[in-house]
Chains A and B, each alone.
Chain A
Amino acid sequence: MKKNWPLWEVFVRSKNGLEHRHFGSLHAADAEMALENARDVYTRRNEGVSIWVAESKNITASNPLNNGELFEPAQDKVYRHPTFYDLPDDIKHM
Chain B
Amino acid sequence: MSEEQIKNLEIQFNARIERDEKIEPKDWMPEKYRKTHIRQMSQHAHSEIVGMLPEGNWISRAPSLRRKVALLAKVQDEAGHGLYLYSATETLGISREEMYEQLHTGKAKYSSIFNYPTLTWADMGAIGWLVDGAAIINQVPLCNTSYGPYARAMIRVCKEESFHQRQGFEIMMKLANGTSEQKDLAQDALNRWWWPSLMMLGPKDEESVHTEQSMKWKLKRKSNDDLRQQFIDQTVPQADLIGLTIPDPELKWNKERGSYDFGPINWDEFWQVVKGHGPCNKERMKARVGAWKEGEWVRDAAIAYAEKQANKNFNKAV
- B-facing mask of A28-63, CB < 8 A → 1, else 0? 011001000000111011000000000000000101
Interface of A is mostly: mixed
Residues of A close to B28: CB separation below 8 A:
64-65
Residues of A close to B80: CB separation below 8 A:
40-42, 44
Total A-B residue contacts, Cβ distance less than 8 Å: 52
Interface size class of A (residues with CB under 8 A): 20 to 34
* Complex interface residues of chain B between 23 and 39 (CB less than 8 A to chain A): 24, 26-28
- B-facing mask of A55-94, CB < 8 A → 1, else 0? 0000001011100000000000000000000000000000
CB distance from B10 to the nearest CB of A (A): 16
In the complex, whether B7 has a CB less than 8 A from a CB of chain A is: no
CB distance from A14 to the nearest CB of B (A): 13
Interface size class of B (residues with CB under 8 A): 20 to 34
Question: A40 CA to B160 CA in the complex, in Å?
Answer: 14
* Complex interface residues of chain A between 1 and 41 (CB less than 8 A to chain B): 3-5, 7, 24-27, 29-30, 33, 40-41
CB distance from A47 to the nearest CB of B (A): 9
A24-B153, A64-B27, A64-B28 are contacts. A29–B306 as well, Cβ < 8 Å? Answer: yes
Instruction: Tell whether, in the assembled complex, residue B303 and residue A3 are in contact, meaning their CB atoms are under 8 Å apart.
Output: yes
CB distance from A83 to the nearest CB of B (A): 26
A24-B84, A25-B87 are contacts. A45–B160 as well, Cβ < 8 Å? Answer: yes
Instruction: Tell whether, in the assembled complex, residue B302 and residue A41 are in contact, meaning their CB atoms are under 8 Å apart.
Output: no
Residues of B close to A25: CB separation below 8 A:
87, 90
Instruction: Tell whether, in the assembled complex, residue A5 and residue B76 are in contact, meaning their CB atoms are under 8 Å apart.
Output: no
Question: A29 CA to B298 CA in the complex, in Å?
Answer: 11
- A-facing mask of B279-310, CB < 8 A → 1, else 0? 00000000000000000000110110110011
Instruction: Tell whether, in the assembled complex, residue B302 and residue A24 are in contact, meaning their CB atoms are under 8 Å apart.
Output: no
Question: A24 CA to B153 CA in the complex, in Å?
Answer: 8
In the complex, whether B77 has a CB less than 8 A from a CB of chain A is: yes
CB distance from B256 to the nearest CB of A (A): 44
Instruction: Tell whether, in the assembled complex, residue A5 and residue B302 are in contact, meaning their CB atoms are under 8 Å apart.
Output: yes
CB distance from A24 to the nearest CB of B (A): 5
In the complex, whether B17 has a CB less than 8 A from a CB of chain A is: no
Which residues of chain A have a CB within 8 Å of any CB of chain B?
3-5, 7, 24-27, 29-30, 33, 40-42, 44-45, 61, 63-65
18 contacts between A and B (CB under 8 A): A5-B303, A7-B87, A7-B90, A24-B87, A24-B88, A24-B152, A24-B153, A25-B87, A25-B90, A27-B96, A29-B302, A29-B303, A30-B305, A30-B309, A30-B310, A41-B80, A41-B83, A45-B160
Additional A-B contacts beyond A26-B83, A30-B310 (11; CB < 8 A): A7-B87, A7-B90, A24-B87, A24-B153, A27-B96, A29-B303, A29-B306, A42-B80, A44-B73, A64-B26, A64-B27
